[in-house]
Each structure stands twice: as C-alpha cells, then as structure tokens.
A and B are shown apart, each in its own frame.
Chain A
C-alpha cells in the first residue's frame, strides 16, 4: 500500500481494446503521479512534431498518490497531451471528486491512443476497464451527459469526466469537465478527446486507497491541517471564494480591462467576491477532503451551479467591460455546460471587441453591449455563426484579421487575470510557462501582491528569476502529488515531502520533491523545443512591453524583460537560447 491504486489502463481506441498493467515503480519514483505521469508518458510516446488531433496523439488522465487518501485538500487529478491549442506538452489540473473516484475504481491513470470509429466512453469499475458505446450521449452538453451517464449506469456514486459540444467540434478552447462544474480548463484538451471520439470517462467502485505509514501520515496531517486552518489567506477563500481577488487586483491597478487596454475597472466592486457574497451566493462547497471549501454555489434566475471563480469573473467582467455579476455567472456556467475554457473563451470575445472597436472588423461583439453574450458563448461552443470565428481562440482569430498583436496571449494561449505591466516576476512566469499563457504554473501573485510567503516588490526585477524557478518547480511537484495548489499559501516544500513520504513510503525530502518538479518542467521544455519553440517565444504581447498602464501606482509601467530571461535561463541550467544543457538533463535523469 502506497497511496497508488496500482494499475494503469491503456486504451487503444482504434482497435477498441484496453490493456491493464501495473503502475511501474520507477514511474512513481521519478514522476510521482498526475502531471508527472502525464509528462513522461506523452514525451515517451509522442513525437513533438505530431499533429495533436491525429489518431497517434496520446492523452493521459492521471490521478495522484495523495489524492483520495483523506489528506486535507488531497483531491486533484491531471490531464496531459500535446496541446492542440499551441503544440506544447501541457497539462491541466482539476479538483472535485473525480481524481479520488478513479482510484476507487482501481486505477492511477488512463492512457488513451488512437481514434475510435464511433463515440465511446471509458468505464472504469472496481479494477476493470471497458470501452462502451457513447452514441446516445454524443451531441449532449456536459450537464446532460453527466446526468444521463449516471442514470444509465445506475450507480449514483459514480463520477464522470466528459466533453461537451465544444470538444466534439474540436474547438481549441474545448476543455474537460468533471463533477459538472470542475474544469481541466486550459490548452484545448477537450478537442483531443473529441478528435478521438472519446466522450467521457466514468469511474465507479469502492476499492480501498491504502498508504504506507498511516501513523506517520496522521501526524503530518494534523500538522498541515493546523497550518491551513490558521492561514489567513485560506480563511478568506472560505468566506469569499477566489473572487476576493477582484478588488485586490483592481486596487493594485493591474486588473486587465477591455482586452488589457487598461489595468483598472470602474465596475470591479460589482463583480467582486464581496458582492457575490451579498447577492447570488447560496453556500460554499469544496473538493474531496477539502477543509477550505473555496467553491461558491450560486443561484441566478432559478439556476443553481458551482462557480463562478475569479478567472471567469474577471474575463467575462472587466476584460469585456461588463459589470453585471449575474450575466458573468451565467456566462461562466455556459462555458461549463459547453465544455469551454472560461479564460480563453471570454479572451477571444474581448479580442474581437477590440478589433471591432478599432474598425478592423465590422461585425461581432462590442465593449459595453452584452445582450448577445450568452448567445455568442453558445455559438463558440457549437462553432456556429460569429462564434465559429472565435472557437479556436483569440490568436488565430486576430491573426486571420491581420492583427495578431491584439491577441493578449503567450504561445497562443490567452493570458489570465493579472496585468504583468505591474508585476515583473509574474510577467516572467507568463513568458516562460511551458504551457503558454497561464497563471498557475508559477503563481508569482502570491509574493508580489498577496505577500505570501513574503512581500516582494512587484516593480523590481532583481531576484525574481530565482523565485519564478522555485514556484514553477514546486508547483510541478504539487501537480504530481495531488494536493490543491491553494495549500501552498500555508505549506512549504518540506510539508509536501513529508506527506508524500508517509503516503508512498518513498524517501522524500524538500530537495527531492523540488527536483521531481524540476524534472517535470525540463521534460515539458525539451518537448516544446522539439515542437519548434525558441527563446523568441518566451515573451509577452507587444502592448505589455510598449504601452504603459495609466491608472494608480503602476501608471507609466510596462513589463521590462531586461536581464530577466538571461538570469532565468542561467538559473535553470539552460543555455542562452533557453535549451536545457546535457549536464542539466543528465542531472535530472533525462539523458
């Protein structure tokens, strides 16, 4: 017993076969689980130049050793593949209960290859795996698919991860949803499933999840539980959810507004966590084994769902110039229902709004006119009407119309809810994230805005390269372990190492944990280089380098790369072009 379920299922959709094999020990040791499993398996089997939507593409859904063991906030799973949005070796993380349930079903991971002739779903149940006909569900949205599958299987305790119409249409903004409203949101993995005619995963069963040293784990659990409960940031998440960030980020002058045209939104209070708590909030809830319960359950016009979270609140709010929280919430739910990335979808809309504002297109949405917003989101999900133009993201849309500089994206993936013109460190994180525009792979907001673990001056570059590397490596390890990233406000690398050691029985200290994360990071980086990425791609949109912010303290600021990239590459043990050296790869066991 070591936290793992002990089996991986390999499904060849072309041949319609499944094979179950033991989870290899060296895979656990080198890569832990989750994002680590995904990175290794995809890198091992996929040529970096492969078309990500071809049958040869390999897709990994992997749970993690700490998930489902009863460790507080140990609930996550990861999906990995070559991203169809931008060709990177990427992963997306999700919570809820699916990560726990796939282990109860007897599996650490599912590795999917090939393309099925007809729609199928993978049914994992008490140690067995079966590909089943998904034709009755093809064409249905996420909520309908989930409810129908559970009803047809006849097990109300089963859990579903699925795609909606967006994934079926292979929109590059398509994501994978579980537990109705939890998203493995970024990088277009819904399209990978759609390209394989794979509609869903269903996990059922009640197999035990054992750990190596329960007594030691109990002691560590008590220690971390106390740290989390006493942590002020975690406390605020319970009360206000992630949208507590709206006012914080806005008052810092870095809330991207109207497609990053400014950093301050006059209507921010109206879409804040405080306003949500006063109006549409019914209660809070959480993922498996969560003691923070940051999720919101809200009601709008008689409809009740989980959400909205800070990113879609910002993106359907400030980024498109809308301060109607009910409309924001319904738009976020529409993304969930359709299986769309709730950052990239409004990002594409915001980009279209600016192109229209500047007269580069003469149809499409406009800032300040939100009547057609929900219809437009649906169009994007079904690739219809004007939505078909936006369904592959802002970069391809803007490029098609001759203005790629108006896509606020890095490596073709839309940037999230923090303007890097006021954040030297977070800007470096954006520029260097191995999956493109993204905030969670290296969440420098914690020190530069929130003051966790300490306050770092956001306007200063000195020292930031080192911090970014540590955040990126630690996050990769956390993504392999199964812990929710919000624990990083309260816990340190030693805590994660102790949890991992007690659960798995593997020798693990903070250094080994960080090295595991560094190994995962470098694996993703090497793949990306093979896919054609160079130093020139580790940058930000021109606007963020050249057009200064206009409001509050960051007025006059742009993101200044300066020597940041050189310092970052050097600290990573990469050459001047950002290529991992043979010495570094050997050190990490990658060569």
Chain B
C-alpha cells in the first residue's frame, strides 16, 4: 500500500518534506519508521531515545490524530494514510 509521509522542521535534514512510501499491507507506524530510518540512518537518533521509544515531545500524527492516543507505534496503517512527523517544537 501507499502512504504519504510529511516531515517538518529539523526532521527535514533527513529527508524531503513530503514523500509517498510503499509499504506492505498491515504495516504499523513502527514499520514505517523502520523504513524511513533504514533509508536515512541518522533519523533514528532524532526520533528515538531508546529502541521503540519516541523522544519526548516528538509527535506523530496519523491523518491529524496523535498516534499516542491510538495504538502508539503499533497503530496500523491503511492505504492513502497521511503520516506527519514533528520534532520537539512549540511556541505561543
């Protein structure tokens, strides 16, 4: 299946702002991140504080919903999903 990945702010040092990723059916967010970090090895250091543990303030949205409130990194993906990856960021 195909999903669209968008990355923002400092995550753009690892990959283009938007990309369509082909991934096996039934893949999860964790699987997607494995694909991305496989292609861009330094990216893992920005995403994870430990294997399988996202860094504090890193936010991943699935179609606008933070996956923390779904099934976390085990959240399943579907054809046409939009995944947005944000490093720690904020303002006022």
> Residues of A with Cβ closer than 8 Å to B?
231-233, 235-237, 239-245, 247-248, 251-253, 269, 273-274, 294, 310-311, 439-440, 443, 445-446, 449-452, 455, 457, 459, 485-486, 489, 551-554
How many residue pairs link A and B with beta carbons under 8 A? The number is 103
The answer to whether A274 touches B64, judged by C-beta atoms less than 8 angstroms apart, is no
List chain B residues, Cβ under 8 A from A457. 69
Given contacts A244-B9, A273-B9, A274-B12, whether A236 and B68 have CB atoms under 8 Å apart is no
Kindly state the separation between the CA atoms of A239 and B86 in the bound complex, as whole angstroms.
Answer: 14
Is A274 a contact of B88 with CB atoms below 8 Å? no
Tell me the residues in window 21-70 of chain B with beta carbons closer than 8 Å to chain A beta carbons: 55-57, 59, 61-66, 68-69
Instruction: Considering the complex, give the chain B residue whose CB is closest to the CB of A440.
Output: B92
For A488, give the chain B residue with the smallest CB separation: B92
Which residue of B6, B68, B92 is within 8 Å of A242 (Cβ)? Answer: B92
Interchain CA distance A413-B58 in the complex, whole Å: 33
CA distance A485 to B56 in the complex (A): 20
With A274-B9, A455-B68, A552-B63 in contact, is A248–B55 under 8 Å at CB?
no
Say whether B9 contacts A236, CB under 8 Å: yes
With CB as the reference atom, state the residue of chain B lying closest to A485.
B92
A182 to chain B, nearest CB (A): 14
29 example contacts (A-B, Cβ-Cβ < 8 A) are as follows A231-B88, A232-B89, A233-B89, A236-B9, A236-B10, A236-B87, A239-B9, A241-B91, A242-B91, A244-B8, A244-B90, A245-B89, A245-B91, A247-B86, A248-B8, A248-B89, A248-B90, A251-B86, A252-B64, A274-B8, A274-B9, A450-B89, A451-B59, A452-B57, A455-B68, A455-B69, A459-B69, A552-B63, A552-B82
Q: Is the interface of A mostly helix, strand, loop or mixed?
A: helix
Q: Give the 4 A-B residue pairs with the shortest CB-CB distance, closest first.
A: A232-B88, A552-B64, A242-B91, A553-B64
Complex interface: chain B residues within 8 A of A235 (CB)? 88
Contact A237 B91 (CB under 8 A): yes
Find out whether the CB atom of A251 lies under 8 angstroms from the CB atom of B92.
Answer: no
* Chain B residue at minimal CB-CB distance from A311: B92
Known: A274-B8, A451-B66. 7 other contacts (CB 8 A): A232-B87, A240-B89, A247-B86, A443-B92, A452-B90, A485-B92, A552-B64
**How many angstroms from the CA of A459 to the CA of B70 in the assembled complex?**
12
Minimum CB–CB distance for B80 against chain A, Å: 13
List, in ascending order, chain A residues with CB within 8 A of B86's CB.
Answer: 247-248, 251
Interface residue tally for chain B (C-beta within 8 Å): 27
Q: How far is B63's CA from A455's CA once the two chains are assembled, in angstroms? A: 18
Interchain nearest-CB distance for A550 vs B (Å): 11
- Verify if B77 is at the interface (C-beta below 8 Å from A): no
Note all chain A residues with C-beta closer than 8 A to B59: 248, 449-451
Q: Are B88 and A236 in contact (CB under 8 A)?
A: yes
Chain A residues near B65 (CB-CB < 8 A): 552-553
* A237 partner, pick from B6, B82, B90, beta carbons under 8 A: B90
A252-B89 in contact (CB<8A) = no
CB distance from B55 to the nearest CB of A (A): 7
Contact (Cβ within 8 A) B92 A243: no
Cβ–Cβ contact A551 & B64, under 8 A: yes
What is the chain A residue whose CB lies nearest that of B88? A232
In the complex, what residue of chain A is closest to B85 when comparing beta carbons? Answer: A251
Kindly state the separation between the CA atoms of A251 and B59 in the bound complex, as whole angstroms: 11
* A252 & B61 in contact (Cβ 8 Å cutoff): yes
A232 contacts B9, C-beta separation under 8 Å: no
Query: CA–CA, A274 to B89, complex, Å?
Result: 12
Cα A273 to Cα B9 with chains together (Å): 8
Q: Is the CB of B64 within 8 A of A239?
A: no
Q: Among B12, B59, B64, B91, find the residue whose CB has the most chain A CB atoms closer than 10 A.
A: B91
Q: A232 near B91 (CB under 8 angstroms)?
A: no
**Given contacts A244-B9, A251-B84, A457-B69, are A236 and B63 in contact (CB under 8 A)?**
no
Contacts of A551 in B (CB 8 A): 64
Interchain nearest-CB distance for B66 vs A (Å)? 7
Residues of A within 8 A of B89 (CB): 232-233, 236-237, 240, 244-245, 248, 450
